[in-house]
Amino acid sequence: MPSDSAARADSVAHVRAAIKSVSRLLAEADSAVKARGGARADQAQLFLSWDAPWGNRRAQRSRMPACDDTTREDTLYLCVRTGRASDQFTGFTASLTVHPTGSDSLGDWWKMKGKGGLNPGSLRVEWAAQHDWFGAPQPFLESGQGLTTLDNQPYLARLRMVFAVPIGVAAPIAADPVYALARVVLRHHPERRLMGCEQPVVIEWEEATLTFGLKDEPRVSRGERLVSFAGPYALTEPFHAPRTQAWKPGRLAPPGK
């Protein structure tokens, strides 16, 4: 029977071997990404729409909420065209920001944190890997794991999302389809009498990272990334920063305004 010191030495050797193996994999992945010119997805685009995934005839760029109706929900879809094919696609991150319009601060209705917020339980995130939405394709074979955080400040609210599946079950992804990634669902609790549901705001998908493999996580901040809530789509105009015109294939009609 091995002594305690021998057992400890064996455990340390296994840990060191595992660390070396991981370091080698990371180094190989880093070299492969650099050989391709870095983590790039130059043709990738983000698409944000109400009511249905982008390209669906029901999709809209603006949403007028029924703030007093507890039976209705406001549903915002996050979709992406990766612009590049890959043998695997393991996950993504997304950062959405709610901007007040004019000089107003955000109302208390947007304080939707599960704990500590004034309007808890009014926001949930659902992952496309776990649902089938109007036949919109999604790029995952497994349900995966997701995490969300909501940060409230006087003049904005920022929702951060992370979703991933294990590398061993990641599916290939094509360059051209528009894939559904997730949706954000807003519920109404009029009995709380909170100000802000009827306040016109702009929701911006600031950026995303797309994970094609180790060290291969390009950032994307282009596409149709703005929608309005409680007001017309024209409210988004001041938030359109100068950028290269988003490429749109002819077969996809944009959502209605």
pLDDT in tens, 169-228: 999 999 999 999 999 999 999 999 999 999 999 999 999 999 999 889 999 999 999 999
Question: What average pLDDT score do residues 139-144 get?
Answer: 93
Measured CA to CA, the distance from residue 50 to residue 11 in angstroms comes to: 53
Q: Does position 28 have pLDDT exceeding 90, yes or no?
A: no
For the stretch 56-86, pLDDT in tens is: 999 999 999 999 999 999 999 999 999 999 9
Mean of the pLDDT values across residues 83-105? Answer: 94
Separation between Cα atoms, residue 80 and residue 139, nearest integer Å: 10
Q: Are residues 31 and 48 in the same domain?
A: no
Do 197 and 209 belong to one domain? yes
Kindly state whether residue 63 falls inside one of the protein's structural domains. yes
**Based on the domain organization, do 150 and 34 belong to the same domain?**
no
pLDDT band at 7 (very low <50, low <70, confident <90, very high): low
Query: Mean pLDDT, to the nearest integer, of 229-243?
Result: 88
More confident residue, 21 or 81: 81
Task: Tell whether 99 and 210 lie within a shared domain.
Answer: yes
What per-residue confidence (pLDDT) applies to 11? 54
pLDDT at position 249: 47
What range does the domain containing 34 cover?
Answer: 1-38
134 or 48, higher pLDDT: 48
Indicate if 13 and 73 belong to the same structural domain.
no
User: Do residues 23 and 46 both lie within one domain?
Assistant: no
Backbone φ, ψ for residue 234 (5° rounding): -60, -20
Question: Does the pTM of the predicted model rise above 0.85?
Answer: no
**Domain-embedded: residue 239:** no
Mean pLDDT of 223-248: 81
Q: Do residues 70 and 1 both lie within one domain?
A: no
What confidence score (pLDDT) does residue 113 get?
83
Could you tell me which residues come within 8 angstroms of residue 227 by beta carbon, excluding any fewer than 6 positions away? 48, 49, 50, 60, 61, 62, 63, 76, 202, 203, 233, 236
H helices within the chain, ranges in order? 4-35
Q: State the pairing for strand pair 226-229/201-211.
A: antiparallel
* Between residues 248 and 107, the one the model is more confident about: 107
Task: Give yes or no: residues 116 and 221 share one domain.
Answer: yes
What's the pLDDT at 27?
Answer: 41
Whether 255 is in a domain gets the answer no
**pLDDT above 90 covers what percent of the chain?**
70
Please answer whether residues 97 and 204 qualify as being in contact, where contact means their C-beta atoms are separated by less than 8 angstroms. yes
> Could you tell me the CATH number of the domain that includes residue 106?
2.60.40.680
Residue-level pLDDT at 8 = 56
Q: Assess whether pLDDT exceeds 90 at residue 37.
A: no
CA 85 vs CA 115, 122, 172, 177, 212: distances in Å: 40, 37, 8, 10, 9
Give the amino acid at 179: Y
Quick check: is 124 in a domain? yes
Contacts (Cβ under 8 Å, ≥6 apart) of 238: none
Average pLDDT over residues 133-162: 93
Q: Between 24 and 159, whose confidence is greater?
A: 159
Q: What is the pLDDT of residue 115?
A: 75
Which pLDDT score, from 0 to 100, does residue 103 have?
77
Same domain for 123 and 222, yes or no, is yes
> How many domains, in total, are found in the chain?
2
Q: Indicate whether 203 and 223 sit together in one domain.
A: yes
